[in-house]
């Protein structure tokens, strides 16, 4: 949500083109809170250097289960 807030403030208006353009100019990081450690977008609006992260709700809390280097819990696979 903070990402959208920052983009709206940067765009100066709630216009989808202006907000998309603002997102493309963002360059955040390094941060452990962004998959891949950075927050940056290419000209098409896709995240640059973002690796896939899998988060599961376990006991009412969202926890990272993949990749292993970021995992704080083992993945739980429910049985049918």
Residues whose CB is less than 8 angstroms from the CB of residue 65 and which lie 6 or more positions away in sequence, other chains included: 54, 55, 56, 71, 72, 73, 74, 75, 76
List the pLDDT tens digit at each of the 80 positions of the chain: 788 898 999 999 999 999 999 989 888 777 767 766 778 888 888 888 877 889 999 999 999 999 898 899 999 888 88
- Say if pTM beats, i.e. exceeds, 0.95: no
């Amino acid at each position: 949500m903070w990402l959208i807030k920052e983009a709206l403030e940067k765009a100066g208006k709630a216009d989808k083109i202006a907000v998309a353009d603002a997102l493309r100019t963002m360059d955040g990081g390094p941060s452990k809170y962004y998959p891949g450690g950075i927050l940056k977008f290419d000209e098409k609006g896709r995240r640059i250097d973002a690796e896939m992260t899998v988060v599961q709700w376990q006991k009412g809390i969202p926890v990272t289960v993949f990749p292993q280097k970021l995992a704080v819990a083992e993945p739980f696979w429910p049985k049918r």
